[in-house]
A and B are shown apart, each in its own frame.
Chain A
Amino acid sequence: MILIAVIARVLFVTYQKNAFRNFDYECYFDKGEVSEGDEVDLIEIVTNRKLMPVPWLKSEITTSKWLDFAGSQSLVTEETRFVPSFFMMKSFHKTVRRWHVKCLKRGVYTIDRVILITTDLFGMASRSNTYHVGATLTVLPEGADLSADFDAAQKLSGDVIVRRHYIDDPFYRAGIKEYSPRDPINRIHWPATAKTGKLMVHNNQFSADQDLLVILNVQSRDYERDTVIDTEKIENGIRICAGYFEDTLRSGIPVRFAANTNFSGDRSSIITNSFHGAEHVGDLMETLARIPLRSSDAFPVFLSGACRELTASDIVIVTSYLGEAIFDYARSKREAGSQVRIIYTTLLTDEYVPDDCPVFGYLGKERSLQ
């Protein structure tokens, strides 16, 4: 009996003191940046570099519910996914566990710390330790398909908006035409004149520096304060913005982004520089990934304030509700020479849309596939 008591005591003390001695834990994602719907591996590496085995070990990973893994083994509460992971660590043993994670929604996800819990052989001594892991994963939004996912509010027939400027571009030639008194003399096409016997001039195209401004409204309803109520609408908006950004990669036009939200929680807004290229678009996508579901300012105030001075040849306003302030802003920008489109983040049903404002409803991925 004394021997039993001694052995039990020795085991208790040994586990209590040495359970986490010469013991390493690492946890990280195998990729730093992925897109919505992509799969990524969450890797846990547990190393027991000592003689004493750890017969039962549990790591408690707490992350966002939008990182889907561990299925029924995980516990989801509101926005959190709690995943227990069990190990059996022999002496001088290393286990590398790869969880297959599906990224359901855009965002920047971090696993700051993981709690490890172990007990001795007889469940007498229980030890826990917190390991700071700092695993971060950026899930970029999946861009909407700009060619298929939209529905126009106006009739397809009728007025067509065309771009025309006062002065044409002498470097873009569309062909030749008959001379008119308004044409400069230096544009006369002499071979054509000789051939036709009439004065013929070069017919030039109109061109302008094209750039795109995408304005996102992070307010799902017009009377909404700070926190977003209809989150799915805003997520749709973010996807639409992502679609536009991706599109600029193909066309190569500069793009800038503005949104009535920020990362710091104050009243400032996001307004980026206008630039082109993969790196800039990558930054914009990361910005979209990080956008919190919280508005910093009412959208009409944002439009009339921070966005008033912003100009671009093309302006896209992505919003979850429509209102006179938005239409007024669109009209004013059109009058200033920009081409403006308003993208409504859900299907257009009974919303009032004035005839002079081009509004498009977002069908959503599922609907557009039907």
Chain B
Amino acid sequence: MMKQNARVFKVILRFSALFCFFLSPFPVFSLIVQKVKLPAVYYLYSVLMLEFCGFFGFGLRALLESMRRIRSFLISILLVLFGIVFSFGACLAFASLGIHPVYIVILTVTVGILYIFSVRMISHAYDEILTRNWFLFSSGFNIFCLLVAHFTVAEFSAEPMLIVYICCVALFAVILNQRGIDVVMDRRGHSASQLPPKIRYYNMILVGIILTIALLLIIFRTPVVNGAKAAFSAVGGVVLKFLGWFGGLFALEKQPEVELDSVPSDIDEDFTAIGESGDPLVSRIAVIVILALIVLISIRPVYRKLRSLVSRIVLAIKKWLHRERIFRGRSFDENEYYTDTNETVEHDGKTIQDLSPSRALRAWKREIKSFQKMPDSKEKLTIGYHLACRGLELHGYKIEPGDTQLDILKKARERLSGEAFETATWCYDALVFGGYEDDLKLKEMEQSLLGIRALPAAKK
């Protein structure tokens, strides 16, 4: 089942990679759409055109290869013929738009090249489609098209190109991540079945988080840059003030009364108003040096504090989620050869408790109420006994996994008055080990639970 899931996952990745790969020539289409001033919907048509072209070539090759009767040289001839026909058809379609013949030629050649590549993609695995070379080529090609657009198209909008590029890069990041897992496993001949379950999904979530941060930075780049600038100029202002004050001290020794007033009261962002008596260039260099020193000295402690703060916040959120039983991963994983126990820990490595004692007690009391509402059955007796054991634990009785019913009963007798729990215990014992009679003693069990509930809470 797991193997099948992994195979399906890789097929999805492969088709997603193909989808992105076929969008590689999109900058050319985007450039021409803007140059010819076609409506915005033509971006969508371009995408559809490219995908159709790519998957047509890919599908055709796959179809021909699946026909065993056709020989390989015949397949090659047929693919070339189909390519020519397809390019011709594309050429006619572009011509129908009434655009300049040069553009028609460019688009037709682009489609033709894409067809050739798509035909070759049949034997490529998911990680062989979007490779580092592709990433470098695609990035370079996008920059080249942007430069061409900058010099040839007035009011060029880079957004469509950027959106497609970001989508492709995001998928490339995912593929790079998954490829990393496969490569490190294959290098020493390990099987993918040895991996912990859901490692691929978890890795994808991490990649998703990083991509989201990157996307947010791109979207809010202006406020981020402005904020950084503002912070930098604020620090610069403080430095300037300090320099002014510091320079003033020296000036005071020479001309105390006059120079005191000459400390600049108005500091502008260009750092030009430093000490009227000082050289502006020297002051500027001094400010830059001091800023650099401040950055160098403070970057590590600031980074550490920031890291510690974020870490604490995340840990607090994790604790809360853990205790509220939200997004909790499986505590146990079983494999043919081993068993895994997963826990959430704190900074010191101590395991976070599932529930705080008070919350656990409240949850237990709620369970007693639902026990009371249950119809009479053997199951109810079992649940009741387990509830009683948990209740005893919550009230400070230490129950070991190896304790028998008798051991538990002895511990309970210390503070639990009455015969109810004893009767219920023997009834449960008879139910488990045989020899029980029709009377399930559920009333006694309920009385016992209420008795345990009335016990004073365990001291912390």
Contact = CB atoms under 8 A, between A and B. Distances in A.
Task: Please determine whether chains A and B interact with each other in the same assembly.
Answer: yes
Interface of A: 1, 3-4, 7, 11, 22, 24, 47-51, 53, 55-56, 58, 69-73, 75, 84-88, 90-100, 117, 119-123, 126
A71 B217 contact: no
A87 B210 contact: no
Contact of A119 (B184, B188, B194, B347): B184
A4 B142 CA distance: 14
Contacts of A95: 340-343
Contacts of A92: 314-315, 318, 344-347
A99 B343 CA distance: 18
A96 B340 contact: yes
Contact of B194 (A4, A73, A94, A122): A73
Contacts of B348: 49
A3 B311 CA distance: 24
9 closest cross-chain pairs (CB), A and B: A123-B180, A51-B311, A96-B341, A88-B199, A94-B343, A94-B345, A122-B176, A88-B196, A99-B338
Contacts of B181: 56, 123
A85 to B, nearest CB: 8
A4 B172 CA distance: 12
Nearest to B191: A73
A91 B206 contact: no
A84 B188 contact: yes
A367 to B, nearest CB: 32
Contacts of B318: 91-92
A99 B214 CA distance: 40
Given A1-B139, A94-B342, A95-B341, A49 B347 contact: yes
B336 interface: yes
Given A73-B191, A92-B315, A94-B349, A121 B344 contact: no
Contacts of A47: 345, 349
A141 B318 CA distance: 49
Contact of B202 (A22, A71, A90, A96): A90
15 contacts: A22-B347, A48-B345, A53-B206, A55-B203, A56-B181, A84-B188, A84-B194, A94-B345, A97-B340, A100-B337, A120-B180, A122-B176, A122-B177, A123-B183, A126-B184
A91 B314 contact: yes
Contacts of A123: 176-177, 179-181, 183-184
Interface of B: 139, 143, 169, 173, 176-177, 179-181, 183-184, 188-191, 194-196, 198-199, 202-203, 206-207, 210, 213-214, 217-218, 307, 310-311, 314-315, 318, 329, 336-349, 351
Contacts of A85: 338
A270 to B, nearest CB: 37
A275 to B, nearest CB: 35
A11 B210 CA distance: 10
Contacts of B202: 53, 55, 88, 90
B206 A56 contact: no
Contacts of A70: 337-338
Nearest to A47: B349
Contacts of A50: 311
Contacts of A48: 345
B401 to A, nearest CB: 15
B331 to A, nearest CB: 10
Contacts of B210: 7, 11, 121
A56 B203 contact: yes
A290 to B, nearest CB: 28
A122 B337 contact: no
A121 B180 contact: yes
Contacts of A90: 202, 329
A225 B298 CA distance: 70
A238 B338 CA distance: 32
Contact of A94 (B173, B207, B315, B351): B351
A98 B337 CA distance: 9
A93 to B, nearest CB: 6
Contact of A93 (B183, B194, B339, B344): B344
A72 B337 CA distance: 9
Contacts of A56: 180-181, 184, 199, 203
Contacts of B343: 93-96
A51 B176 contact: no
A86 B181 CA distance: 11
A55 B342 CA distance: 15
Nearest to B207: A121
A168 to B, nearest CB: 54
A129 B318 CA distance: 28
Contacts of B207: 121
B431 to A, nearest CB: 32
Contacts of A73: 190-191, 194, 337
Contacts of A4: 169, 214
A93 B217 CA distance: 29
B260 to A, nearest CB: 46
Contacts of B315: 51, 91-92
Given A56-B184, A56-B203, A98-B341, 11 more contacts: A3-B214, A7-B214, A11-B210, A56-B180, A72-B191, A75-B189, A94-B343, A94-B349, A95-B340, A121-B206, A126-B184
A73 B214 CA distance: 38
Nearest to A18: B307
A55 B189 CA distance: 20
A121 B337 contact: no
A288 to B, nearest CB: 29
A98 B310 CA distance: 33
A86 B196 contact: yes
A122 B180 contact: yes
A101 B183 CA distance: 29
A55 B311 contact: no
B199 A86 contact: yes
A98 B333 CA distance: 11
A121 B345 contact: no
Contacts of B196: 86-88
Nearest to B307: A51
A22 B348 CA distance: 9
A56 to B, nearest CB: 6
A48 B339 CA distance: 19
Nearest to A99: B338
B206 A71 contact: no
A295 to B, nearest CB: 37
Nearest to B318: A92
A54 to B, nearest CB: 10
Most chain A beta-carbon neighbours within 10 Å: one of B139, B189, B198, B202 = B202
